[in-house]
Each structure stands twice: as C-alpha cells, then as structure tokens.
C-alpha cells in the first residue's frame, strides 16, 4: 500500500535514522523499534534516495562525498569481505576525487591564459550589453574591462 512512510512520521525517527547509519541488519533495527523488517528496509532505501538526490544537487563532488561516507561506514562492518570491498571502493573514490580536482584546476587555468583573455575581449565587443554582462558574470576571475 502506497502512502506515507510510517517511520518518517514516528516520534523516534531521529533515533531510528541514527540506528540505520551504523552497519546493522534491518532485522536488528526492526526488533529494537518494533517495526516489520520490510518497513525498516523501505525506510533505509528512502533515506538513501534522499541522500542521493541531495548529493546530485551538489554535482559530482557531492556524489563522491556521499559514496565515500557509505564506504567509510562499511569499513566497520563485521564481515571482512564487506570491509575489503569498502576499502577498495574508497581507494577508487579518492582517486576519482583527485582527478576531478585536477580537471577543475585545469579549467580554471584556461580562463587565465592570454589567448582566452583575447578571445573574451573580442567576444564582448561583438555581443549586446545585456549578453556581455551575462558573460562577465559567468567567467570566473577577472574579465576584460568594459569598453
């Protein structure tokens, strides 16, 4: 039956959410709070979806942070296979984060090159003032002065 999540409306929601942050089985949490295991599993998926939507709104850095947090939680799991998989995933995410930062620095460097400055100056001379203002606001750092 579709409807409101019973846990989201529950007075103990904050405690249940905290219990779900720690690597535990849904059965353990369901016994602790008196919910069916399926209800706990549905709420866990609901929380993961909210986290994913929030991370997506932040772009790639937010998604990388979210995935790193999940992997870090799994590092404390009782199963050594889960811990090993989490460690591997965490290493890959750190590598991805380093590559993403390098690409970001490269794109910022592009804006500082003399060739880009010349291009921007020429572009600003050919567009209307309204468009020129939008371009100036969209380019990081110093832009050519208005003429």
What are the tens digits of pLDDT across the range 53-89?
776 667 777 778 878 888 888 888 888 888 898 899 8
Rounded distance, CA 126 to CA 1, Å? 60
Predicted local distance difference test score (pLDDT) of residue 126: 79
Which helix (H) or strand (E) segment is 47 a member of? Answer: helix 37-58
Q: How much helix, strand and coil, in percent to the nearest 5, is found in the chain?
A: 75, 0, 25
**Domain residue ranges of the chain, discontinuous segments joined by +:** 1-58, 60-111, 113-147
What are the tens digits of pLDDT across the range 10-22?
899 899 988 887 7
Rounded distance, CA 77 to CA 22, Å? 9
Rounded distance, CA 135 to CA 147, Å? 14
Predicted local distance difference test score (pLDDT) of residue 136: 75
């Amino acid at each position: 039956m579709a409807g409101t999540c019973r846990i989201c409306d529950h007075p103990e929601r904050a405690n249940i959410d905290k219990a779900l942050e720690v690597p535990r089985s849904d059965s353990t949490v369901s016994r602790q709070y008196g919910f069916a295991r399926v209800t706990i599993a549905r709420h866990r998926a609901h929380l993961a979806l909210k986290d994913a939507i929030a991370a997506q709104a932040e772009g790639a850095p937010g998604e990388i942070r979210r995935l790193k947090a999940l992997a870090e939680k799994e590092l404390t799991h009782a199963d050594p296979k889960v811990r090993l998989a989490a460690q591997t995933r965490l290493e890959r995410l750190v590598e991805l984060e380093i590559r993403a930062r390098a690409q970001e620095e490269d794109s910022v460097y592009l804006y500082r090159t003399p060739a880009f400055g010349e291009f921007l100056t020429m572009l600003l001379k050919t567009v209307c003032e309204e468009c020129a203002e939008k371009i100036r606001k969209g380019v990081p750092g110093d832009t050519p002065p208005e003429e």
